[in-house]
Amino acid sequence: MRAPEACSAEPSSLPSSLPSAAPAYAPGSAPGSAPASASPPFPRYIQGALQRECALEFADWRWLCSHALDSEGAALEYFYLSPFYVEQASETLNERMRRGERLQADLQGLLFSVSYSNLDVLRAEAPQFFRAEARDRQAEAPTVSDFAARCTFFNAQAIFHITLLRRESARHGATRTLPLRVYAVVAGKIYRLPPLFDVLQQKMAAAMSHLETCFDLLQSRLARWSLADGYTWADRQTRETQRLGVRSPTGDAAEAEREDFGEAETVVTEVFRRPGSEVAARVLVEEQRLLAKEVSTLAEQRKAVDEKWRLAREAEAKLAAALEKTFGVYRQQKTAQLKQLAPSQQLAFLLEKRKLEAQAAERMQKPAQSHAV
């Protein structure tokens, strides 16, 4: 079964695989004979700018390794790096928003906006990240491994539809919004979605190609023409199988016929086939290896810092215990000395101490009074 060719956006440029309106052979001639009049060839297919843009894809693996597509704002920031946005960035209102300007509701121009995302489904499927976020906001910053897991989860499963809108004035001062193009962010790759007209035209071309293959099979295998009987329809292989008495191991003729024909295969036709990028895959593997190495290095550094902090706390606790022990010994010695003094000497000592404290208080008050004057 031949694969259908891509269809152009113009109705006049049809693929060469479509059957011609003229019959393949003239009536009265045997199948396989030369046609009476050859049909004119179809014009050569020329790929337009729309098909070329729809065949492009954009991915920045370095950006995806350091950011997570977990919000519509992150999807727009990632889309700003693509050539789909860079080519017309100067004409959009998004540049003014990125510069910090506040846009009015009636402002006219081009605007890229997120029209669809599956973040609600992803957040319901991965609640551990958000529980970790709430816990980290209360305790400490999230670890590098949690951030890497978050990036891997959302960048691989997030889907966004980014629509290019045109704001223009309508009647009575109203603002009308018209969608022009739709882009999709799937698994970290940005595509331009083809218009509905191109999709329908491609499907029609595929259907016509299958019909052409079916008619070729009917003409070459099932149809017979003779001057006496005209067209007759019968499977030649089935007649030969019955004539030779070929049977399957189970003795069923229908089973033998099914073995001859084989099972029908399901053919999946892609509207726009995009080749795989080996360079991007190698870059992704290299980035993942570097990121894993960096995560392990940071984990070792954190372990060393925790061990150093534990040793410092132990040394501080030992120093505090030694100081407390020294103060206790000092208090015991002072108490013992006071007990050894005579009562009169102890009283004189206390009076002398109070006198010295009063003199020190007077000396402290005099500079304060002179400064106030």
What is the arithmetic mean of pLDDT over 51-75?
A: 83
Q: Are 93 and 165 in contact (CB under 8 A)?
A: no
User: Cβ neighbours of residue 58 under 8 Å, at least 6 residues apart?
Assistant: 81, 82, 83, 84, 189, 190
Q: Are 14 and 206 in contact (CB under 8 A)?
A: no
Co-location of 79 and 211 in the same domain: no
Residue after which a domain boundary falls, among 184, 217, 242 = 242
Q: In whole numbers, what is the pLDDT of the chain averaged over residues?
A: 73
**Residue 360 maps to a domain:** no
Co-location of 188 and 217 in the same domain: no
Residue 50: pLDDT band (50, 70, 90) is low
Flag whether pLDDT at 282 surpasses 50.
yes
Q: Are 70 and 132 in contact (CB under 8 A)?
A: no
Number of other residues whose CB lies within 10 A of the CB of residue 150: 19
The pair of structure tokens assigned to 199 is 């999709």
Classify residue 92 by its DSSP letter. B
Flag whether pLDDT at 303 surpasses 50.
yes
Residue 318: pLDDT band (50, 70, 90) is very high
**Residue 33 maps to a domain:** no
Co-location of 51 and 174 in the same domain: yes
Residue after which a domain boundary falls, among 172, 193, 214 = 193
Residue 64: pLDDT band (50, 70, 90) is confident
Cα separation, 112 vs 167, whole angstroms: 11
> What is the predicted pLDDT for the residue at 150?
81
**Residue 31 maps to a domain:** no
Of 128-132, 184-188, 246-250, 363-367, least confident by mean pLDDT is 246-250
> What is the predicted pLDDT for the residue at 215?
80
- For residue range 78-111, list pLDDT tens digits in order: 998 888 888 887 788 888 888 877 777 777 888 8
Percent of the chain at pLDDT > 90 equals: 10
What is the arithmetic mean of pLDDT over 4-32?
A: 41
The pair of structure tokens assigned to 237 is 């292989």
Co-location of 56 and 187 in the same domain: yes
Co-location of 58 and 165 in the same domain: yes
Cα separation, 96 vs 102, whole angstroms: 8
The pairing of strands 230-233 and 57-58 is unpaired
Of 30-39, 120-129, 154-163, least confident by mean pLDDT is 30-39
Which burial class, exposed, middle or buried, applies to 112 when counting CB atoms under 10 A from its CB (0-12, 13-18, 19+)?
A: buried
Rounded (5°) CA angle 314-143-290: 115
Classify residue 24 by its DSSP letter. S
Residue 287: pLDDT band (50, 70, 90) is confident
Q: Residue 107 belongs to what domain range?
A: 47-193
Flag whether pLDDT at 21 surpasses 50.
no
Flag whether pLDDT at 307 surpasses 90.
yes
**Residue 24 maps to a domain:** no
Residue 127: pLDDT band (50, 70, 90) is low
Co-location of 206 and 296 in the same domain: no
Cα separation, 213 vs 364, whole angstroms: 112
What is the arithmetic mean of pLDDT over 51-76?
A: 83
- For residue range 161-206, list pLDDT tens digits in order: 988 888 887 776 677 888 888 898 988 888 888 777 777 887 888 8
Query: How many folded domains does the chain comprise?
Result: 3
Determine the straight-line distance between the first and last CA of the chain, rounded to whole angstroms: 110
**Residue 364 maps to a domain:** no
Q: Which CATH number fits the domain that encloses residue 73?
A: 3.10.450.580
User: Cβ neighbours of residue 69 under 8 Å, at least 6 residues apart?
Assistant: 75, 78, 154, 155, 158, 160, 185, 188
Co-location of 287 and 314 in the same domain: yes
Co-location of 67 and 93 in the same domain: yes
Flag whether pLDDT at 3 surpasses 50.
no
Co-location of 238 and 173 in the same domain: no
Residue 23: pLDDT band (50, 70, 90) is very low
Co-location of 90 and 228 in the same domain: no
The pair of structure tokens assigned to 330 is 């000092």
Cα separation, 201 vs 292, whole angstroms: 47
Q: Mutual orientation of helices 144-157 and 278-340 as an angle, nearest 10°? A: 150
CA 147 to chain centre: 15
Q: Which of 4-13, 130-139, 238-247, 289-298 has the highest mean pLDDT?
A: 289-298
Residue 304: pLDDT band (50, 70, 90) is very high
**Residue 182 maps to a domain:** yes
Q: Are 283 and 61 in contact (CB under 8 A)?
A: yes
> What is the predicted pLDDT for the residue at 157?
86
Rounded (5°) CA angle 13-18-24: 125
**Residue 30 maps to a domain:** no
Co-location of 333 and 217 in the same domain: no
Residue 5: pLDDT band (50, 70, 90) is very low
**Residue 234 maps to a domain:** yes
Flag whether pLDDT at 237 surpasses 70.
no
Classify residue 278 by its DSSP letter. H
Co-location of 287 and 229 in the same domain: no
- DSSP output for 332-349: HHHHHHHHHS-HHHHHHH
> What is the predicted pLDDT for the residue at 313?
93
Residue after which a domain boundary falls, among 193, 210, 226 = 193
